[in-house]
Amino acid sequence: MEWTTDDRVSGVPGEVAVLSAYERRVLGALCETLLPPGGAIAPGAADLGTAGYIEALLGRLESRPRWLVRAMLAGFDLTALLGRPPEMFHRLDAEARHRWVEASRTSTLRPRREALAGLEVLVELAYASDPRVASLIGYDGAPLVPLDPAGPPPPVELPVIGYPEVVDARIVADVVIVGSGAGGAVAADTLARAGLDVVVLEEGPAVHRSDIVDHRPAERLFELYRDGGLTFTLGSPVISLPMGRAVGGTTVVNSGTCFRTPDTVLGAWEASGITSVGPDDMAPWFDAVDEVIGVQPVPEEVLGANGDVVRRGAEELGWSGGPIRRNIRGCHGHGVCAFGCPVDAKQAMHLSYLPRAAAAGARLFSGTRVRRIRIEGGRAAGVVADVLDPETGRRRGGLHVSARATVLAAGAIFTPALLARQHLARSSRQVGRNLVIHPGAGTTARFDEPLRAWRGTMQSYYVDEKLAGGVLLEATFPPPGLGYSAGSLPGWGRDKSLFALYPHMASIGSIIGDAGVGRVGALGRSGVAIRYSLTRDDAAKVLEGIAMAAEIFFAAGAVEVYPMLPGLPSIRSVAEVRYVREGRWRPSDLHLSAYHPMGSARMGASPAGSVVDPHGRVWDVPDLFVFDGSVLPSSCHVNPQITIMALAARMAARLADSLS
């Protein structure tokens, strides 16, 4: 495509000025430095108005995540005062800025390194998702299998109520459920089908297929993820921990991978005294979930080049693995599963369990953020929620729900925060503790031949050779500039040469079965603080995952692999993989992201060491239940969504029996 400066744009519809003139100057200087004009891809960030686009995206967020970006901008700008001569970054000339950026990548000053890393992800995301840039590398977002000319089946119309249909109201129900994700949706279906009057309150917006089709993946990130995906743990290293915030919860934006909990894990939970969670007890619950959400192995025609490469490498090494089981019906391989499925193939909760629940009479509310649990006479009696304006996020009214049972399913970060804010369930002192997140690294490799690995299922092939050692690998390739790809290359090169080679890249993500060392606490009226420091044992597992990914890629014929370790930006042969294994790396050297929070209100056999009993009942508070990822007693070692769903179905069935 011929590109001219007349194509310049400044942002997206609905643009709002949210940065000060100073912050705009810093952002502009950073964009120009990271992505100057010329080189392998002609337009620079300044030519395309990337800074304006970033500001427009930030305009869609609430003030807290925006504040984080503003702090990173000012912080990074000021770090240059440590240079010679001392000067703020945005005041340096182009050459000095470039040198400062390069030195910052390997700086021993963590805030300097991490502020740059965070801002670089944002700049690359905005630049790469510009359709003019995407088309220069051949990305068109087309599915691998052509769509039926008659179009996809009609969209699912889910009856959801929100502002302005509801402003202030008092509602009475049998059960109120907080959150509509994997746990909340399955619970709503089970309880409503048992004949109970169920109300589901969800903070996020309702999602319709047309919202997904009409927006770029980067914009969907800012719409469907909490805080635009800018959620992190505090500790060493800082870990990105994105979560969904929508009707359907994180399942709307997840990759659709469905692993049953390994028998060894269920056996350990059972051995700890938790009744009816052994492999035989859980099998029927998993069967039922599989049926509702259409779990099946990725069909061969949508496995895509990324899955092919990983399969080839794993088979060459004789390692066990296979096409991933996913919740899909009619998948065409668009490869954008983590930004909402444009053809409703991925059977997220808003397309599977919630319509069933609604058909059985459950009432679903969007844009309603539960503020507190109502406690009357020592028992849970319902909740109080703020009704939010979907355009501004501002409070417009209040919803009081009275219920015989209150179910928390706000996810493993916000459920413990709700409990902690009101000092509930404190006797075991375990609320918010034992947080597991499955941290992992993305490892990218370059091949001679073009792969266009974005075509096909985003997460396609697994390698479980070392699952018993806590390392699971999954071939995962997101659209350009998003997800693993953004943080798993050592910069794009000043001439954007690495980015121009994106069609030649393949990528693997690792999942580590970590120790539950994280901790969640409530912060202010609705915020949270997530503390997590990677242990040395878990850091060793991450490094083993990177080394295994590199071995798979070299076995499949890769030219170069990017382990993203300080001083080791790339390796070029299988012999060099030993540098990954033998290096003296610290946890803070690792670039990590995590997608599976769990365990922060764990279930157990006795009130002494757990927050809920084996059926999700909060030990300390009658009529209060937790049915989400918080209850997992430990890491499940695999992607957790169907573990959460199967446990929620089992716990909700028990609750239905007790209320009927």
- Would you say 65 or 342 has its CB closer to ligand SF4? 342
- What's the CA gap between 654 and 611, in Å, rounded? 18
**Which stretch, 50-58, 185-193, 342-350, 484-492, contacts ligand SF4 (CB under 6 A)?**
342-350
Beta-carbon contacts of residue 189 (< 8 Å; ≥ 6 apart): 292, 353, 354, 356, 357, 360, 362
- Would you say 52 or 478 has its CB closer to ligand FAD? 478
242 binds, among ligand SF4, ligand FAD, none (CB under 5 to 8 A by kind): ligand FAD
- What's the CA gap between 651 and 660, in Å, rounded? 14
251 binds, among ligand FAD, ligand SF4, none (CB under 5 to 8 A by kind): ligand FAD
- Would you say 343 or 548 has its CB closer to ligand SF4? 343
341 binds, among ligand FAD, ligand SF4, none (CB under 5 to 8 A by kind): ligand SF4
51 binds, among ligand SF4, ligand FAD, none (CB under 5 to 8 A by kind): none
Name the 3-class secondary structure at 112: helix
| Per-residue CA distances from 8 to 5, 38, 74, 269 (Å) | 6, 15, 26, 57
Whether a cis peptide bond, with omega within 30° of 0, leads into 566 is no
Member of 97, 112, 334, 541 binding ligand SF4 (CB under 6 A):
334
Number of residues that bind ligand SF4 (CB under 6 A): 15
**Cβ-contact 311, 321 below 8 angstroms:** yes
Member of 332, 363, 496, 519 binding ligand SF4 (CB under 6 A):
332
179 binds, among ligand SF4, ligand FAD, none (CB under 5 to 8 A by kind): ligand FAD
Member of 92, 331, 435, 592 binding ligand SF4 (CB under 6 A):
331
Nearest to 30 by CA among 46, 14, 10, 12: 46
By CB under 6 A, what part of segment 17-76 binds ligand SF4?
none
Instruction: Assess 401 for contact with ligand SF4 (CB under 6 A).
Output: no
Please give the residue whose beta carbon sits closest to ligand FAD in the complex: 181
**Cβ-contact 27, 51 below 8 angstroms:** yes
Nearest to 271 by CA among 633, 646, 640: 633
Member of 19, 328, 364, 410 binding ligand SF4 (CB under 6 A):
328
- What's the CA gap between 484 and 476, in Å, rounded? 8
Beta-carbon contacts of residue 157 (< 8 Å; ≥ 6 apart): none
Q: How far is the CB of 335 from ligand SF4 (least distance, A)?
A: 5
410 binds, among ligand FAD, ligand SF4, none (CB under 5 to 8 A by kind): ligand FAD
Q: Chain centroid to CA 543: how far?
A: 21
- What's the CA gap between 454 and 479, in Å, rounded? 6
Instruction: Assess 563 for contact with ligand SF4 (CB under 6 A).
Output: no
Active site residue 596: yes
Helices (H), 318-368: 353-359
| Neighbouring-strand partners of residue 325 | 297
Q: How far is the CB of 389 from ligand SF4 (least distance, A)?
A: 30
What φ, ψ does residue 273 adopt, rounded to 5°? 105, 0
Interface residues with ligand FAD (CB under 6 A) are 178-184, 201-204, 242-246, 249-251, 253-257, 338, 369-370, 409-412, 414, 459, 595-596, 628-629, 639-641, 644
| Per-residue CA distances from 453 to 311, 328, 492, 512, 584 (Å) | 13, 20, 18, 24, 33
The structure tokens 């001083």 sit at 567
Whether a cis peptide bond, with omega within 30° of 0, leads into 237 is yes
Q: How far is the CB of 250 from ligand SF4 (least distance, A)?
A: 15
Site string for ligand SF4, 414-453 (x = CB under 6 A): ----------------------------------------
| Neighbouring-strand partners of residue 62 | none
- Would you say 222 or 595 has its CB closer to ligand FAD? 595
The structure tokens 């080049």 sit at 305
Instruction: Assess 501 for contact with ligand SF4 (CB under 6 A).
Output: no
Instruction: Assess 298 for contact with ligand SF4 (CB under 6 A).
Output: no
- Give the count of beta carbons closer than 10 Å to the beta carbon of residue 359: 12
49 binds, among ligand SF4, ligand FAD, none (CB under 5 to 8 A by kind): none
Instruction: Assess 333 for contact with ligand SF4 (CB under 6 A).
Output: yes
Member of 29, 41, 336, 501 binding ligand SF4 (CB under 6 A):
336
Token pair for 651: 């716990």
201 binds, among ligand FAD, ligand SF4, none (CB under 5 to 8 A by kind): ligand FAD
- What's the CA gap between 522 and 427, in Å, rounded? 17
Q: Which of 90, 596, 615, 637 is catalytic?
A: 596
Residues that bind ligand SF4 (CB under 6 A): 256, 328, 331-337, 341, 343, 345-346, 457-458
List the catalytic residues: 596
